[in-house]
């Protein structure tokens, strides 16, 4: 088969896109009737996609309002959720209503950094160890090199992990309102060049070797943060749980204990329930790099009965990777969803992170209550497809 | 703030959707111009979304052709990738061209099961242990109960995990062409009812407690499969690596060794590079439950120099959750993308799993080569946005 | 330096041992005065040690009695603990007294298997997958081959794990009263020979590749058991906690919740406190393979307030590797300690596993109470060394 | 049953020990003939044991000499190994001889710290986050408080891990020649008192909650070191592997690749083979806290063919907890074994850590070679017991 048609002069023109449509029809017999319908100028996708042929149309449902009591997000928010999974919007909505009745979710950001982690290989562990000292001593020079590449990204810390004859350097940056993976790649690359030029005994190096860990869930991200580390929490009176959710403080608290054991046994990266569901729907709607769900879906949930007959519940997302600028955030529908949340552009990213954490909390409460009250499956049956 | 407007009689009508648009404008000042443009009848999204307001338009780029030598997928395939991450399509394409030059990717499915894992709680561990024996003895009855709920889902195995005074039962099913989470929930629920009625000493139970592990990465999924367990592999001559990728067998093989160490140290759920990238783009395009990227992005990569001056590389995805029917697969653009792949509907799911694994392999080769040849960042700079 | 002196004719004679003592004195200047004092005939250590020079004398303290309500261990037991860590015996003793006041610890064994896990390597994943089917079809023949090597070991299950072009077979055996690592190695080796002779397309194999996982903590052992899977549990009235331990049900239960979060964040292999302490002391005393502490120290703890103002606490040891026969169990002091427990020899191993689990539980309660009541360090200060 | 006899005036006297012997005989019928034989004054075990009744006699075999090329350990060492596992000494010896033929093992220490990790609990995550900033601002005062308790321990770093409404502070110390667990407990306790007195909004705290992680294997210890982080490495010519070990560079290197995959799949805490074996034998011999095998047995192995037809192999032990002073190191036989190594007392601990790492490397080489050459089981059969 030929390659996908390309136009080096203007690869986003109506003509080349239509040529591709004919190519698809020729090769597969599929005549596009939906993928080829979109509301924006394809030129605006330059830098976001190659070989453009159209769009995936993902249904958006509106959840909320959700009361968020954050440091950046304050007030009620409507939450656009892009998903094809029946009951998801309804379930999150149910949790949001309950949170609102409790006065809203308190949100706090306690960490913020994006990483790139090159590895340096030496003749032996002795030289590796000496290199590790050298890096500490030359931190200021390395930092200057990294920061020279970007006005927004700032190197804040280099973590070191030594093993065998390797030194893994994990460069940590703040990245403004961008998620920042590209920004930190470029910055680290220049930092690495400084290192390569000034420490003579490096045998070889790779720009990445599983210490970042981009697009993957990991213990290092749980411990050391990737993107934003954000917590959402709420205290729910027992009577609300009974009236609204047909369950009890005791049952939800008990489930937390069991789920802690279950998560320990299964080696899961999230001892909660389904943070991935709400996050994915918000990521798609707001133009995030959805592949980061692999990291961002990690979560740490905690419950207690405190005060008496109240359920305190909180979730920490230790590696939430979000942006209010750059990447896909400025695309047509994505920007509108960012605007619905009031987050697009400068100074929006922390607000966005807080709203997302609060929404995730709503989903945890809703599903935990459903499990406790046994109506989980029935709700799927009622609202979901028949298979 | 009021709730999102609802019409109990017809919640997908033009009127109620427009009412919601006005509600958004009123509450947030955002006048939708893109989200509200879609090419299908909103009625078709019943069962997929609640509180419909429109769509997210995610750009699709066309990669391929990719030669797949599977048991279900045989031939050349064009791969629609829905993403907003610049260079992703180009990078996967580069890998696909190389795979084609090597004769295509061999793909093999070695596992297939979907789970639900209720937990049963007893007075003490002694009764729990006795229950565990009882379940083994009554497997046929439990199976009959489960299978009575579905023509497609078939219970194939109940794994047992005992801890403290708990027994976690992990019900494993085949689910035809659906991903099957709802199907197995319903089936397990009926199996659980049989259990609750026939084993008298159960104190309490929950339908889920982190042993499934739905929407989460976990060791149990790596070990015991969730969805499809599928491997893609190829052997690449060294001269192709040099000419096409500006790198070498030795450098890629060496990187695998370092990345194995790095992954061990960081506790990552994928010792490869970025399976999540390609999978997410295919998931969005083909109507998968994108939140399953949390599990599906898990991978096990392996390289060797074999035969001499050739790189053998393979990746196993132990928990790839896909469907060719049900969920979002039948929505307008999603169905078209399924059709481009020739997978929609009956008997398509295994083919789809094979194609996805082959595409993931292409992405691994491409990025690994880029890391080895140091042009990784530059390619982002050339084709990506400026932040 | 020369090699350690050896006497091929009789390597456990008084003469060769003394020759070694002179060799040590010559080479290091150390004149042994204690290592060379032991109460048994060195000949009895054949099969347990090579290059015998004497013994390590590890102090034994006596804890207990401990009331165990097991299926094998029933009654009060005195527990010999071999350790040099001050306060360990006192701390375990404190927990045992409390357990006794509650009527003893209930113990239950829910799993029992020892493994060897060879890996088979194939041309590609397709052949690997076919091999996996072949093994299932030839299970009876493989089992017969394995069981032909031992009267005691019985193959009970072959687990399969497929990845890339590899099939890891995890052979599970019961091994009577022995820990059984050597027994299952021999048995598996013969099973492997059957496989190698009858499945033609195997490229290579190794007898071990990290799926067993001998002498290492692992998720697979938590999930699938290695050695004995045993639980000990007790319910403690709140007034006893207050009077005897200066703490409360609430404080201990609360700590369990925090420790669950802490363990999740740190990626620990035991969400309890210090099972390794008591187990190591019992392992040394009773002639276990102490290196198995790496696996055996894994534990799953769980607490709840149930009934009101009572603390239910239990610990499951999923990979406790013990023997009442074979290995070091028959050596002079080791056998005496086995006899103190009434476990030596035939039918003793299950009893021993139950006693050990109950003793571990005592240690968990004691330290958890000390942490809660803040006197932990002070107790170290009072009874421990000054550094 | 009565409690174990106690003499508050002199609990290590001949009389009380004999009273205990009679107690054992009365209660269990066991007349001690070996446990009660030891070569030292029981008074010397004060601070090491309570309720002393005698000793476990663990056979010691002498391995070596082993050439270590460390920064602290330089030259040939004889290694006392206390074990009851047949073939262990022989197997390690085989590896040592090979290392010697290659010029010895290079050893490097790249990390050194001992931890205690209290957790602080707050009203909500906002206060927790503010506390985290406060701790950074008051590091000097906290450090002064900690260091006031010990002349030897020095606080070097406080790591912070935030989750939910908790702040886990991981205090890192250097501890001279002691392992230091007690030292850092006391120091941290005083640091905690400073914190409790000066930050007003703490709800509650516990001195430990699974972030240390004492007596347990964990990811945090792999990443952040506990005790010593030490690497041993050697390069072995292919002809030596063939002549001495009946295997090849290729086979061992290939096995490393497979074992990396196997370890990833099984979730093991050591991608090598059996570090626990040698470490446990050295720990028992030299008076270490043997329960620390749970942490210390963690390892990171790496192999490559470099230069051509040579096997480079190294192992990093990221959490090796050892002492040359304090704990059990000064007991009778233990001290003699420390003296054989030339490590006892001041400035011995780094030397000891290096020797241990080198010995572990010898064991890895030996067993890896045995697996590769298939003679592993036969060697057990020849030298081991018959079950």
From the candidates D177, D214, D233, D289, which is the catalytic residue? Answer: D289
Contact D362, D301 (CB under 8 A): no
- Asked if residue B378 has pLDDT above 80, the reply is no
Residue in A177, A214, A289, A295 annotated catalytic: A289
Q: Which chains touch D (3 or more CB pairs under 8 A)?
A: A, B, C
**Per-window interface: A 192-221 vs B, CB < 8 A:** 204, 206-211, 213-220
| Chain-chain contact of C106 with B129 (C-beta, under 8 angstroms) | no
pLDDT given for residue C253 in this prediction: 95
Cβ–Cβ gap D304/B254 under 8 Å = yes
Contact C209, C129 (CB under 8 A): no
A380 carries an active-site annotation: yes
Write down the H helix ranges in A73-218.
88-101, 125-137, 139-147, 181-198
Q: Residue D257 corresponds to which tokens in the numbers above?
A: 């690749």
pLDDT at D83 over 90: yes
Chain A's closest residue to C314, CA to CA, is A261
| Average pLDDT over every residue of B120-133 | 97
C163 touches chain B (CB under 8 A): yes
* Candidate from A71, A128, A164 with C-beta closest to D300: A164
pTM given for the model:
0.97
Model pLDDT, residue B374:
72
Whether C263 and A264 lie within 8 Å, measured CB to CB: yes
Q: Which of C85, C130, C208, C250 is catalytic?
A: C85
Decide if A50 is catalytic. no
Beta partners for residue D120, in sequence order:
D167, D205
Identify which of C293, A162, C367 has the alpha carbon closest to the alpha carbon of residue D296.
Answer: C293
Nearest alpha carbon to residue A4 among B64, B214, C203, B105: B64
**pLDDT the model gives residue B383:** 56
Per-residue pLDDT at A373: 86
Residue of A nearest to D128 (CA): A110
| Peptide bond preceding D213 in cis form (omega within 30 of 0) | yes
The closest CB to that of A106, out of D126, D229, D301, belongs to D126
Residue-level pLDDT at A387: 35
Whether C306 has its CB under 8 Å from any CB of chain B: the answer is no
Q: How far is B165 from chain A (nearest CA, A)?
A: 10
CB contacts, 8 Å: B124 with chain C: 106, 108, 233, 314
Contact D371 C207 (CB under 8 A): yes
Instruction: Indicate yes or no: CB of A4 within 8 angstroms of CB of B384.
Output: no
How far from A3 is each of A47, A54, B131, C17, C300, CA to CA, in Å?
Answer: 21, 18, 60, 78, 55
Cα within 13 Å of Cα(D138), Cβ side:
18
C307-337 pLDDT, tens digit per residue, is 999 999 999 999 999 999 999 999 999 999 9
- Answer whether A302 touches D (CB < 8 Å): yes
Within 8 A by CB and 6+ apart from B106, the residues are: B69, B70, B232, B233, B234, C124, C125, C126
**What burial class does residue B44 get, using C-beta atoms within 10 Å of its C-beta: 0-12 exposed, 13-18 middle, 19+ buried?**
middle
Set of chain B residues whose Cβ sits within 8 Å of the Cβ of D300:
261, 264-265
Is the torsion defined by CA of D357, D363, D364, D365 positive or negative?
Answer: positive
Q: B3: pLDDT confidence band, cut at 50, 70 and 90?
A: very high
- Distance (Å) from the C-alpha of residue D323 to the closest C-alpha of chain C? 11
- CA nearest to D296, candidates D272, D278, D315, D320: D320
Inter-residue contact B110 to C130 (CB < 8 Å): no
Query: What average pLDDT is seen over chain B?
Result: 95
Neighbouring C-beta atoms of residue A75, cutoff 10 Å: 13
- Banded model confidence at residue B198, pLDDT cuts 50, 70, 90: very high
Mutate to test the interface with A, among B96, B216, B284 (most CBs of A within 10 A): B216
Residue A232: closest CA among A66, A32, A20: A66
- The closest of C121, C118, C201 to C158, measured between CA atoms, is C118
The values of phi and psi at residue D96, to 5°, are -65, -45
Q: Could you tell me the domains of chain C? A: 22-57 (no CATH), 62-111+227-383 (3.90.770.10), 118-206 (3.30.70.420)
pLDDT of residue D79 exceeding 70, the answer is yes
Per-residue pLDDT of chain A (387 residues; tens, 9 = 90+): 999 999 999 999 999 999 999 999 999 999 999 999 999 999 999 999 999 999 999 999 999 999 999 999 999 999 999 999 999 999 999 999 999 999 999 999 999 999 999 999 999 999 999 999 999 999 999 999 999 999 999 999 999 999 999 999 999 999 999 999 999 999 999 999 999 999 989 999 999 999 999 999 999 999 999 999 999 999 999 999 999 999 999 999 999 999 999 999 999 999 999 999 999 999 999 999 999 999 999 999 999 999 999 999 999 999 999 999 999 999 999 999 999 999 999 999 999 999 999 999 999 999 999 999 874 443 445 555 433
Alpha-carbon distance of D213 to D106, in angstroms, equals 29
- Partner-chain contact D265 B300, CB within 8 Å: yes
| Distance between D207 CA and the closest CA of chain C, angstroms | 6
CA geometry: angle A30, A32, A38, nearest 5 deg: 160
Q: Which two tokens stand for residue A258?
A: 């069991």
Provide the shortest C-alpha distance from residue A314 to chain C (in Å). 12
Structure confidence by residue, pLDDT tens digits, A280-333: 999 999 999 999 999 999 999 999 999 999 999 999 999 999 999 999 999 999
How many angstroms separate the CA of residue B239 from the nearest CA in chain A? 21
Q: Chain C residues with CB inside 8 Å of B223's CB?
A: 161, 219-220, 223
pLDDT(D386) > 90: no
CB nearest to C271's CB, from A222, A264, A304:
A264
Interhelix angle D249-266/D238-245, nearest 10 degrees: 80
pLDDT beneath 70, residues of chain C: 375-387
> What tens digit of pLDDT does each residue of B142-167 get?
999 999 999 999 999 999 999 999 99
Q: What residues of B are annotated to the active site?
A: 85, 289, 380
Q: Which chains reach chain C with 3 or more Cβ–Cβ distances below 8 angstroms?
A: A, B, D
Give the three-state DSSP class for B131.
helix
pLDDT value of position B373: 86
User: Hey, are the CB atoms on B223 and D264 less than 8 Å from each other?
Assistant: no
Query: pLDDT at position D276, please?
Result: 98
pLDDT at D374 over 90: no
pLDDT tens, D115-161?
999 999 999 999 999 999 999 999 999 999 999 999 999 999 999 99
For C315, the closest chain A residue by CA position comes to A261
Between the CA of residue B21 and those of A86, A92, B4, B346, C118, what are the distances in Å? 21, 20, 10, 38, 62
Predicted pLDDT at D383: 56
């Amino acid at each position: 088969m030929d390659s996908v048609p390309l136009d080096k002069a203007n690869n986003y023109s109506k003509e080349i896109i239509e040529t591709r449509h004919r190519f698809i029809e020729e090769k597969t017999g599929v005549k596009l009737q939906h993928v080829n319908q979109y509301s924006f100028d394809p030129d605006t996708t330059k830098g976001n996609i190659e070989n453009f042929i159209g769009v995936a149309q993902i249904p958006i449902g509106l959840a909320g309002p959700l009361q968020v009591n954050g440091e950046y997000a304050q007030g009620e928010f409507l939450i656009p959720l892009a998903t094809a999974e029946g009951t998801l919007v309804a379930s999150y909505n149910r949790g949001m209503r309950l949170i609102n009745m409790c006065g809203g979710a308190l949100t706090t950001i306690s960490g913020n950094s994006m990483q790139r982690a090159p590895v340096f290989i030496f003749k032996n562990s002795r030289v590796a160890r000496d290199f590790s000292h050298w890096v500490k001593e030359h931190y200021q020079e390395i930092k200057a090199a990294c920061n020279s590449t970007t006005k927004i990204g700032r190197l804040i810390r280099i973590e070191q992990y030594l093993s065998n004859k390797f030194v893994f350097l994990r460069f940590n940056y703040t990245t403004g309102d961008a998620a920042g993976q590209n920004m930190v790649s470029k910055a680290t690359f220049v930092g690495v060049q400084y290192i390569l030029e000034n420490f003579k005994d490096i045998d070889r190096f790779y720009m990445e070797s599983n210490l970042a860990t981009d697009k993957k869930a990991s213990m290092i991200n749980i411990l050391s943060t990737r993107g934003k580390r954000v917590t959402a929490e709420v205290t729910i009176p027992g009577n609300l749980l009974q009236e609204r959710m047909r369950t009890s403080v005791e049952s939800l608290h008990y489930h937390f204990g069991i789920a802690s054991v279950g998560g320990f046994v299964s080696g899961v990266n999230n001892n909660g329930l389904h943070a991935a569901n709400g996050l994915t729907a918000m990521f798609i709607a707001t133009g995030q790099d959805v592949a980061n769900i692999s990291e961002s879906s990690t979560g740490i949930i905690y419950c207690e009965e405190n005060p008496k007959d109240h359920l305190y519940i909180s979730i920490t997302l230790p590696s939430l990777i979000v942006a209010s600028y750059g990447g896909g955030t400025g695309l047509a529908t994505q920007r509108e969803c960012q605007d619905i949340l009031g987050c697009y552009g400068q100074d929006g990213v922390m607000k966005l992170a807080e709203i997302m954490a609060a929404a995730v909390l709503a989903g945890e409460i809703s599903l935990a209550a459903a499990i406790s009250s046994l109506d989980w499956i029935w709700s799927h049956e009622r609202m979901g497809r028949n298979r």
